Each structure stands twice: as structure tokens, then as C-alpha cells.
Amino acid sequence: MKLWEKSVQVDKDIEKYTIGRDREMDLYLAPFDVMGSMAHITMLESIGLLTADELKVLLAEMKQIYADAEAGKFEIEEGIEDVHSQVELLLTRRLGDIGKKIHSGRSRNDQVLVDLKLYMRHELQEVTKGVKTLFDMSSFGLWFGAYAESLVDDLMVLQAAYKVVNRNPLGSAAGYGSSFPLNRQMTTDLLGFDSMDYNVVYAQMGRGKTERIVAQALGGIAATLSKLAFDACMFSSQNFGFIKLHDAFTTGSSIMPHKKNPDVFELTRAKCNKIQAVPQEIMMICNNLPSGYFRDLQIIKEVFLPTFDELKDILSMVTLMMEHITVNDHILEDSRYDLMFSVEEVNRLATNGMPFRDAYKKVGLDIEAGKFTPVKEVHHTHEGSVGNLCTDRINALMQQVLDGFNFQKVNEAVEKLVR
């Protein structure tokens, strides 16, 4: 069944080529398609395009379909073009012609737009939870604390992307609005959006642009995790030995009995670099398109939608690895690190009254003459240093960013609509 099909059937090869992986990708969107339709038909009843009784039975069926989608039981049947067609087919089977009324006042264009925005909004919340869990694991020590603060900045960017996402395109139809007296503010409120995409042409222009903005924000998180993974591989290697990875979280060599491979972190590097390429793929797909909808945009779903699962999986694995990392003690007893304390000696001499340049020269000459003896106690007190990590301030900054998402408003609206 195709919502647009009339008397002529499309060639089977053409159909296969044009649908591509859309049925597979649309499974990501299934609960959100139902959610958007529930808000839409509630609005249709308010403007007289559905009766109260019709709305009641439609909502009851949609809540069941939504529950099935959430539970992973929703399927797009063979021969059905997309998630929108499957939902309408299920309603028509169960309720007859009433099921055919849900599409009044909208196009598949604004329907998929709202699906994507609801999906992105939900997934951004899940990614934020994953980042916060890793943040809580990382916020100690100078090295770990650096990544904790980096994640705060990453969430600031993610919040900006979230605000772009959290605007309602429903009611823009195929990009030029509708002659029905739609109440777009009503669907905006029902779905918990902050506002709507007001201009109906711009709502369609946002397709591709919004995904690119979100992908860039996800790429920022991936960049932080990739750098952390590189550090973990290097610092756990034999030449450094700063940290030790848990034996159960490493793999062995087929020839070297002693070898423990940091495969999780090596794969994390590669996967994160792959995620950082996604914005470029999206840009190249939609870079030369004018305003309006074109089928090119369909391909973005294949590139973009799986990225959330990949990043959430990475966050989960990196958190697990960090939970079981051991910091090796007594590293500084190795004489190779003695010269790390040369600046400390210069500063000590300067603190005791020697001009800095004279102190610098004295320590340099002592090193050349092999007479330098390090004092391995450090007394850094300035903000952000090893002696004053400002962990409490970084935590407070993270909480401020988290509060700025205002997930509670969205969650309450969704819960009220679908339960």
C-alpha cells in the first residue's frame, strides 16, 4: 500500500530502488510517528475535522500501536512503503474508514519531519544521560578531570542542537501550509516543543540542516572520547605504564603470551572518528539542493539514525572501562621522571628570593653537570591545578548545563499524550 498510489503500479525495480532501506530506517521512527499522529488528530478534533467519538477510538488504538512500537513489536509489512503507511493501514484494518481520516491537513513531508525531531529529541536525552554517567566516573584527578570538563563543553554544544531540534514543523504540510484551519500551537504544546518552526517553507528547509547540526554536536562528544581512548591506549602501554586496564577487558595475542590488547579503546577511536565524519556525509548529500523536499534527503536517514546507537554504545563501553582502570602507584620513583621536577626547583628558588632567570640558569647548569636532585613534593594551589582541581565547580557547571535542557517539560508532555 502506498499513500500516493492511484491507478498505475510502479515498476518493481524502480520501487525497490526508490524505497531503499527506508522500511528498515523507519523502525527507528515508529513510536514517534504514532506520537505525532496522536497530537495531530487531537488538533483535528478541535477544529471539527474529527468527532469526539472518532478521536476517542483512534487514540485508544494509537496508544496500543505506540506500546507495541516501544516494546519492539511494531513491524512494517512486506509491500508497505513506510512507517506512516503501516500505521494508517493498522488503523484502517481495525477501525475502517475512520483510520483514513488521520492524514487530513498534513503531508508525509511534515509527518517525517516531526517524526525525526521527536526521535532526535528523545535520543539526545539518552546521549546526555550517557555523557553524565561517564562524567561522574571521570571527575577525579587532573587527567580524568580534564575529560570531565571537556564533556561539559560538549553538552553545551549538544544543548544548542537540542534547542534547534525542539521546534515543531507539524502543519507545514508539503512546505506551503494547508487550507485547513490548523492549530499549530496546539500540536506544539501537546508534543512539548519549545516553539514551532513558524515559516512553513523554512520547516521543510530544516530537513538535512537539523540532522547536520545534531551530527556535529554528536561528533564533538566523539572527538573527546577518541582523545580519551588514545590516551588510555598510550598510558596503559609498556613504555608508560601509568594505568592498568582490567584483565577481563583486554584481549590476548596469538603469538605473545604476555600481551594484553586495549581493543575496546582502539575500536572506540575508530568508531568515534567514523561518527565525526557523519556531518560531512550529510552536508554532501544536501549541499546543492534548493529549498523544498527532494528524495535525496531520504539517504540522510541511513547515514544519521544509527549514529545515536553507536555513540550510546561507545559511551557505555568507555564508562565500563573507566570504572575498572587502576592507576599505578609509585610511578615517580622511576628516575626517568626526575627532570619533570626541574621547573618546581626553579620556582622554589624564585620563591626564596632568587631572580627567576638566575634560578632557571642555576637549575639548567646543575642538570648539565649531573648534580640535579629533584624534590618530588609539589604545592600547586591555583585554580585548575593538580592541588586545586576545582572539581566542585566543574560539577556545578555540568548541572547548570543539564538544567538548561529542561527535559522534564518534554517528558511530562509526552507522558500525558501517550498514556
Distance, CA of 248 to chain centre? 28
Higher pLDDT, 85 or 5: 85
Give the model confidence (pLDDT) of 357-399 as tens digits. Answer: 999 999 999 999 999 999 998 889 999 998 899 999 999 999 9
Region of poorest pLDDT, from 160-164, 185-189, 333-337: 333-337
Is 50 exceeded by the pLDDT of residue 4?
no
Distance, CA of 88 to chain centre? 30
Quote the pLDDT of residue 198.
Answer: 96
- Residue spans per domain, the chain: 1-104, 106-328+394-418, 331-379
Q: Output the CA angle 107-112-117, nearest 5 degrees.
A: 130
Q: Which residues contact 141 (CB under 8 A, 6 or more apart)?
A: 327, 389
Is 80 exceeded by the pLDDT of residue 264?
yes
Q: Do domains 1-104 and 106-328+394-418 have the same CATH topology?
A: no
Is 60 exceeded by the pLDDT of residue 298?
yes
Q: Which residues contact 311 (CB under 8 A, 6 or more apart)?
A: 127, 130, 218, 221, 222, 275
The answer to whether residues 106 and 178 touch, using CB atoms and an 8 Å cutoff, is yes
Average confidence (pLDDT) over 17-37: 89
Distance CA 227, CA 79 (A): 45
Using DSSP bridges, classify how beta strands 167-168 and 195-196 pair: parallel, antiparallel or unpaired: parallel
Query: 1-104 adopts what CATH topology?
Result: Fumarase C; Chain B, domain 1 (1.10.275)
- Local structure of 70: helix, strand or coil: helix
Domain 106-328+394-418 has CATH 1.20.200.10: yes
Mean pLDDT taken over the chain: 92
Give the model confidence (pLDDT) of 177-236 as tens digits. Answer: 999 999 999 999 999 999 999 999 999 999 999 999 999 999 999 999 999 999 999 998
Across-strand partners of 195? 167
Q: Please state the pTM of the whole predicted model.
A: 0.91
Across-strand partners of 244? 326
Quote the pLDDT of residue 258.
Answer: 67
